[in-house]
Chains A and B, each alone.
Chain A
Amino acid sequence: MGHTMKLLASTMAILAIAFAGSAARAGDEEAFTFGQRFADRNCTWCHGPSVQGFTTAPRLAGQRRQYLENQLLSFKNHARDNPLSQQYMWGAAVAVTPETARALAAYLSSLEAKSANDGDDRLAASGETLYRQGSLASNIPACVACHGPNGEGVGAIPRLGGLSYHYLKRKLAQWGEGYHAAALAPMPEVASKLSATDIEALASYLSFVK
């Protein structure tokens, strides 16, 4: 190739890459604002104006992106069959396509999260011990191994830090009752091993985590 042609080819290549990059970014931005508009119109009236949770509807702000996406789809396919999920989320998820789920997850995961601080602070210390070390005697693994030192989660493993005591308590107990058996392993089995006291302690501790 002549020098000029090489220059032209490499310029075209650079421009193509730059445009592709910005188109991808613009696509991401578009998805992001769609996620915001969708959340504001469809989710905030139950989950709270800044999606920090309201009554039995949990905080979604700052939740792990992959986890949010997975939950929206599991409401759609009814894998998540807890009583309140059936009552409220099955209907809500009818309108959610995989693309919408992705956009919502991107938006919601970017929001700042506030801690619920609604647990029993007398139980928080024992909850923290259980969270960080598990219980060898009861065969309960240390939650920290998967959910992280600050309850932040990773990938499809949810952030627990700061969620409402009432919500965590209900969710953990419901695995023991047989609900949501198709959740990401090993949660159904692990939660089934928790006693009522364990659950209250864990839920209390986590509700205070920033």
Chain B
Amino acid sequence: MGADRDLTLLVLPVAVAAIVFSASVHAADVGSGGMFHDGLQGKIEYCQDCHGASARGYRGFYPIPRLAGQTTEYIENQLRAFVEGRRETHIPIKMARVHGVSPELRAALAAHFHELNPRPIDDAPRGLVAEGKKIYEEGAPDSNVPACAACHGPEAKGEGAIPRLAGQLYPYTVKELSEWEEERGQDSSKPDTSKTMVTIVRNMTKSQIAAVAAYVSNLR
């Protein structure tokens, strides 16, 4: 743990190979037949069971976010944040448990999901898109809301630690922007990149949040 990025990149191919070819460890009686795979492939299927086919996201009882096309750094950061308690949710799922994949797998999973590009679920109210585009590209200067595009990119593809928003589920984006402080940066002794968003979302009104979320939800 704590290996710097260069070392991780070096170790990555070896780790992946090791995982894929290693004997898998099962709980006492796991699986009743049917197809399931060990190692990385098994974990990918596991993630996609909730995060949707090709990780496009899924509207279950809770909106489960799209991972497809997400930046690798952001995915890895969030996986670590869940395990280290820096990110919580109000959803009654022990996120640390369900996201607690081994460190070796984090990078492999992130790399895999980054490459996927399914069509967005595109589930937002159409009427809000125009206003959302305006806020996304120009911000809302009267409310001290900067243009999202300045950091998230003109096509909302994100970069590095800044996440891709394009194609994200509308209800998920709304929820995150509305509950940011309650969920992110929960370990004040370990401040992280989520701090950047705190002042921004404080300045956004509910309708601005909804508009921006609607706009990004159908971006490809």
Measured as residues with beta carbon below 8 angstroms from the partner, the interface class of chain A is: 35 or more
Partner of B30, one of A138, A145, A148: A138
The answer for the CA separation of A139 and B31 in the assembled complex, in Å, is 9
| CB contact under 8 A between A141 and B49, given known A146-B60, A147-B60, A154-B61 | yes
Q: Say whether A136 contacts B59, CB under 8 Å.
A: no
Q: Can you list, as one digit per residue, whether each of B28-42 has a CB less than 8 Å from chain A (1) or not (0)?
A: 111111111000001
- Residues of chain A within 8 A (CB-CB) of B94 are 132-133
Between A and B, 15 residue pairs with Cβ closer than 8 Å are A133-B94, A135-B27, A136-B46, A138-B30, A139-B45, A140-B46, A145-B61, A157-B61, A185-B53, A186-B48, A192-B34, A192-B36, A193-B34, A193-B36, A195-B32
Is the CB of A194 closer than 8 A to any CB of chain B?
Answer: yes
Chain A residues engaging chain B, CB cutoff 8 angstroms:
132-142, 144-149, 152-155, 157, 173, 175-178, 185-186, 188-197, 199
Chain B residues engaging chain A, CB cutoff 8 angstroms:
25-36, 42-43, 45-46, 48-50, 53, 58-62, 64, 91-94, 97-98, 100-101
Q: Say whether A192 contacts B59, CB under 8 Å.
A: no
- Residues of chain B within 8 A (CB-CB) of A136 are 46, 97-98, 100-101
Which 4 A-B residue pairs are closest in the complex by CB-CB distance? A192-B34, A146-B60, A148-B61, A139-B46
Partner of A137, one of B30, B48, B53: B30
Chain A min CB distance to B78 (Å): 16
Looking across the interface, which residue of chain A has its beta carbon closest to that of B92?
A149
Q: Say whether B92 contacts A132, CB under 8 Å.
A: yes
- Residues of chain A within 8 A (CB-CB) of B49 are 139, 141, 186, 189-190
Q: Say whether B31 contacts A193, CB under 8 Å.
A: yes
- Residues of chain B within 8 A (CB-CB) of A134 are 98
Besides A141-B49, A186-B48, 15 more A-B contacts (Cβ < 8 Å) are: A133-B98, A136-B100, A138-B26, A139-B45, A141-B46, A141-B98, A147-B61, A175-B34, A177-B33, A186-B49, A189-B36, A192-B33, A195-B29, A197-B28, A199-B32
- Residues of chain A within 8 A (CB-CB) of B45 are 139, 189
Q: Say whether B93 contacts A132, CB under 8 Å.
A: yes
Q: Say whether A139 contacts B98, CB under 8 Å.
A: no
Q: Say whether A139 contacts B61, CB under 8 Å.
A: no
- Residues of chain B within 8 A (CB-CB) of A142 are 50, 93, 98
